[in-house]
């Protein structure tokens, strides 16, 4: 359910701010969502957006059009997810080892969108995801990582602009 309080009141800048911000400010906000400068420039240059769904659609389209170099730039900006500090030491150790194996194999941080998954399930989802994806060929994994990056960017955009965040999939309606 959406909050009845406008995003601007809750402290998030909102779509109105995004549509009227300077190009530099809009691109800076976008770069917090996805580390590709080309992606950020493309999404910013098509403003104004009539609504959040139009912005998310444009972000998806720009994500699908990333070159290999743009994708590499975006993936280089990502950091591997860590566990909550209260997680058991064995879980931290297992996750560090899995991340190290993934990064050694593919050359970039493991990215996965966990929006909509309960926090208690995150460690298991991340470990299962890494283990499954370590079996991919490099090109196949780059494609999966690009999909996850697009999903992450959607969720980050929603959060940046103050929209309620439930799922990061392109086919999931806003809450």
Radius of gyration of the chain (CA): 17
Q: Is the pTM of this model over 0.95?
A: no
pLDDT digits (tens, 9 = 90+) for 38-54: 999 999 999 999 999 99
Which residue has tokens 């079996």?
135
Contact 160, 34 (CB under 8 A): no
pLDDT of the residue at 121: 87
From residue 58, alpha-carbon distances to 34, 49, 53, 102, 124 in Å are: 13, 9, 9, 30, 32
Q: pLDDT (tens digit, 9 = 90+) per residue, 6-32?
A: 333 344 579 999 999 999 999 999 999
- Which segment of 69-73, 124-128, 165-169 scores lowest on mean pLDDT? 165-169
């Amino acid at each position: 359910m959406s909050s009845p309080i406008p995003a601007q009141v809750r402290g998030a800048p909102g779509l109105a701010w995004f549509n009227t911000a300077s190009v530099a400010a809009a691109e800076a906000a976008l770069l917090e969502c996805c580390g590709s400068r080309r992606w950020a420039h493309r999404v910013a240059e098509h403003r104004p957006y009539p609504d959040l769904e139009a912005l998310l659609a444009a972000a998806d389209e720009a994500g699908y059009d990333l070159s290999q170099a743009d994708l590499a730039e975006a993936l280089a900006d990502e950091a591997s997810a860590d566990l909550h500090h209260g997680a058991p030491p064995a879980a931290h150790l297992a996750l560090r080892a899995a991340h190290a194996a993934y990064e050694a194999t593919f050359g970039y941080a493991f990215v996965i969108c966990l929006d909509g998954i309960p926090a208690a399930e995150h460690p298991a989802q991340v470990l299962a995801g890494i283990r499954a994806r370590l079996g991919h060929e490099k090109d196949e994994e780059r494609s999966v990582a690009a999909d996850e990056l697009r999903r992450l960017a959607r969720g980050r955009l929603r959060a940046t602009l103050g929209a309620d965040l439930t799922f990061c999939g392109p086919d999931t309606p806003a809450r």
